[in-house]
Amino acid sequence: MSIVRISLSAAAIAVSMFMATAAQAHPKLLSSTPDANAEVAAPAKIELKFSEALVAQFSGAKLLMTGMPGMTHAPMPVNANISPGADPQTMVITPAKPLTTGTYRVDWRAVSGDTHPMTGSVTFSVK
């Protein structure tokens, strides 16, 4: 009888460890297009790829211009549409107008099924 109790206890511990690991999963930024710190021609869209499917109504981003050739300035918001990508792990930022030469930052907020928000940013330059 004690072997059965030990087996049940071990099974209960294993299940609780698995549940705790699953509950602690948070979306992480895997990649961006353009790449972080890249210098590129003006992109028609910016894509962020995360490690988990996003909850679109709680996830989002802001596109900011942080510098122009020869000068830096306070971040200036850039009008852009933020939408889910074709795959639920992707967020797409589409500028309303072509981006001009300068440095840009995307400040993002990603929420997945665990409802814990993660934030970060990606910077790139337009030639």
What's 63's domain CATH number? 2.60.40.1220
| Domain, as residue range, for 51 | 26-126
Predicted local confidence at residue 3, as pLDDT: 53
Evaluate whether residue 45 is within a structural domain: yes
Domain assignment present for residue 75? The answer is yes
pLDDT average, residue stretch 68-73: 87
In this structure, what DSSP letter does residue 101 have?
S
Which pLDDT value is given to residue 72?
78
In a domain, 72, yes or no: yes
Identify whether the C-beta of residue 70 lies closer than 8 Å to the C-beta of residue 59: no
Q: Is the model's pLDDT at 14 over the cut of 80?
A: no
Looking at the chain, the whole-number percentage of residues with pLDDT higher than 90 is 76
Does any domain span residue 79? yes
pTM (2 d.p.): 0.80
In a domain, 13, yes or no: no
| Structural domain count of the chain | 1
Residue 19's pLDDT is what?
44
Is position 65 within any domain? yes
pLDDT classification of 12: cutoffs 50, 70, 90: very low
Sheet of strand 60-68: strand arrangement: 39-40, 118-126, 102-110, 60-68, 71-78
CB atoms within 10 A of CB 112: 22
Residue 55 domain flag: yes
